[in-house]
């Protein structure tokens, strides 16, 4: 009986191993090329003229009087959409509506409601009646006044109800009101403005993070349900943007102005069903979900929020002490 030595076995395996290696390298190279081309398509070329009033004459924006919502309203008005603005303050709504009419010569309508309530949707439905809606921006949202442990949140019962109503119920109800007419026309876009905080648990912002994770899952599930019917539903997960909610005042490369963020994000519509919306944020999203272990992201996020909590409480105690004419004490 002929016996094989190790050299014979290696010779027999040489050709299969060569082809396995070749195919592996080829797949890796093709994957890199595909990702580079996709990146250029998304972040350089964009979606062209997808977002125009051909989708429908009207755009609806919730939380439209400040920050990202206001910037969406301005950019969509610049593109020729008539604007339905929905927010809590009628005075602020009137100011934004007047500005849009004067700057972009578009029609505007407003609805003043508090999304912390659940009895508002009949009023909104009446206000939307008869409008050909091409785009819905579910932007309204509320966060913590400062990072805090769950059981230490002031007025926790009402805080829970308000945050769930604003961050979760609103997106479900507004979609319920707008989506049927979009499906009838087989075209329309819904952008749900979630948060990078919804990509992983964020300690001391736990409830906010959880509501934004719901928004992300809700968006991606609906997109799969309705994309074959001509509807685009996109989950938008920004990191920090210069807004009143974030209390960031000075823009940087990774903390853009709302105008800069919105211009970049709208170019991704139709190209990504889930997006960070802005290239530096996309890099941050890739690093924190693909490269850095989850436990490190959670650890450093919690550490940052604990430091912010301590700083906030120390400042609050100092202000109270100054008001009472005494010296402040450091908070643990």
d(CA 48, CA 182): 21
Q: Which helix (H) or strand (E) holds 283?
A: helix 279-286
Q: Are the C-beta atoms of 51 and 176 separated by less than 8 Å?
A: no
Q: Which residues pair with 235 in a beta bridge?
A: 192, 274
Placement of tokens 């209390």 in the chain: 247
Pairing mode, if any, of strands 231-236 and 133-138? unpaired
Q: Are the C-beta atoms of 71 and 261 separated by less than 8 Å?
A: yes
d(CA 259, CA 243): 11
Among 208, 226, 261, 278, the active-site one is 208
208 as an active site residue: the answer is yes
Q: Are the C-beta atoms of 198 and 215 separated by less than 8 Å?
A: yes
d(CA 208, CA 201): 10
Q: Following DSSP, what letter does each residue of 115-127 receive, concatenated?
A: TT-SS-HHHHHHH
Contacts with 145 (C-beta within 8 Å, 6 or more apart), sequence order: none
Give the 3-state secondary structure of residue 137: strand
Residues forming the active site: 208
């Amino acid at each position: 009986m002929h016996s094989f030595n190790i050299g014979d076995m290696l010779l027999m395996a040489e050709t299969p191993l060569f082809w396995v290696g070749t195919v592996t390298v080829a797949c890796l190279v093709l994957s890199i090329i595909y990702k580079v081309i996709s990146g250029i398509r998304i972040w350089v070329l964009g979606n062209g003229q997808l977002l125009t009033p051909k989708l429908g004459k009207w755009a609806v924006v919730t939380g439209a009087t400040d920050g990202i919502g206001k910037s969406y309203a301005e950019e969509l008005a610049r593109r020729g959409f008539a604007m339905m603005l929905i927010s809590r303050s009628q005075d602020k709504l009137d100011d934004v509506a007047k500005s849009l009419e004067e700057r972009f010569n578009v029609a505007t309508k407003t609805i003043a409601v508090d999304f912390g309530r659940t009895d508002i949707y009949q009023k909104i439905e009446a206000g939307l009646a008869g409008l050909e809606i091409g785009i819905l921006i579910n932007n309204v949202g509320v966060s913590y006044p400062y990072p805090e442990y769950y059981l230490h949140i002031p007025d926790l019962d009402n805080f829970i109800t308000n945050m769930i109503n604003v961050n979760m119920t609103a997106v479900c109800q507004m979609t319920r009101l707008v989506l049927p007419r979009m499906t009838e026309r087989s075209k329309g876009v819904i952008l749900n403005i979630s948060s990078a905080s919804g990509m992983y648990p964020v300690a001391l912002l736990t409830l906010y993070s959880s509501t934004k994770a719901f928004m992300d899952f809700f968006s991606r599930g609906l997109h799969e349900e309705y994309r074959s019917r001509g509807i685009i539903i996109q989950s938008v997960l920004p990191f920090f943007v210069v807004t009143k909610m974030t209390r960031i005042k000075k823009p940087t490369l990774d903390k853009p102005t709302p105008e800069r963020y919105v211009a970049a994000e709208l170019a991704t519509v139709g190209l990504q069903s889930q997006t960070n919306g802005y290239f530096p944020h996309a890099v941050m999203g890739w690093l924190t979900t693909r490269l850095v272990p989850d436990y490190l992201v959670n650890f450093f996020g919690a550490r940052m929020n604990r430091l912010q909590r301590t700083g906030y409480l120390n400042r609050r105690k100092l202000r109270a002490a100054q008001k009472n004419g005494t010296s402040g004490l450091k908070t643990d």
